[in-house]
């Protein structure tokens, strides 16, 4: 029975770029004897120049993602008391402007109106028969 093997490409962009970076080093080291040159439809000169650019852009993107996550955590710490104050303010303003709730629009609230459905009074058949 023959052994089988499995070669993983990578599960995410960072892993794929890591492999591409190592491929670039080996390809350049091998020069004209690189087996990758058998893939004639790949522009290896472009590949070699694009890999470091992509690695740097990925590093910058990850750095920005981490900064964005940190800013979101900072924002979230401030949100609980803000949301509570907005909710309580809405309730107070609703009671102050109970007869004219559209006034809450001046405070930034989105006020929608619904008209009550007309209910048709049903009369019982015994009342109609009397």
pLDDT tens for the chain, 130 residues: list them. 678 889 898 899 999 999 999 999 999 999 999 999 999 999 999 999 999 999 999 999 999 999 999 999 999 999 999 999 999 999 999 999 999 999 999 999 999 988 777 776 666 555 555 5
pLDDT at 45: 95
Both tokens assigned to 117: 């459905």
pLDDT of residue 10: 86
Tell me the whole-structure pTM to 2 decimals. 0.64
> For residues 17 and 53, is the Cβ–Cβ distance under 8 A?
no
Give CA–CA dist 103/93, Å, rounded.
9
Helix (H, G, I), strand (E, B) or coil at 81: helix
> Measuring CA to CA, which residue among 43, 52, 58 is closest to residue 24?
52
């Amino acid at each position: 029975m023959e052994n089988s093997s499995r070669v993983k490409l990578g599960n995410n962009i960072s892993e794929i770029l890591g492999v591409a970076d190592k491929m670039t080093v080996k390809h350049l080291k091998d020069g004209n004897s690189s087996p990758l040159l058998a893939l004639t439809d790949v522009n290896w000169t472009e590949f070699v120049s694009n890999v470091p650019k992509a690695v740097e852009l990925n590093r910058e993107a990850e750095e920005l993602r981490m900064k964005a996550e940190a800013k979101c955590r900072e924002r979230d710490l401030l949100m609980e008391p803000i949301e509570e104050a907005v909710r309580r303010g809405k309730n107070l303003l609703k009671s102050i402007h109970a007869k004219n709730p559209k006034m809450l629009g001046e405070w930034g609230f989105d006020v929608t109106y619904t008209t009550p459905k007309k209910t048709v009074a049903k009369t019982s058949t015994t009342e109609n028969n009397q």
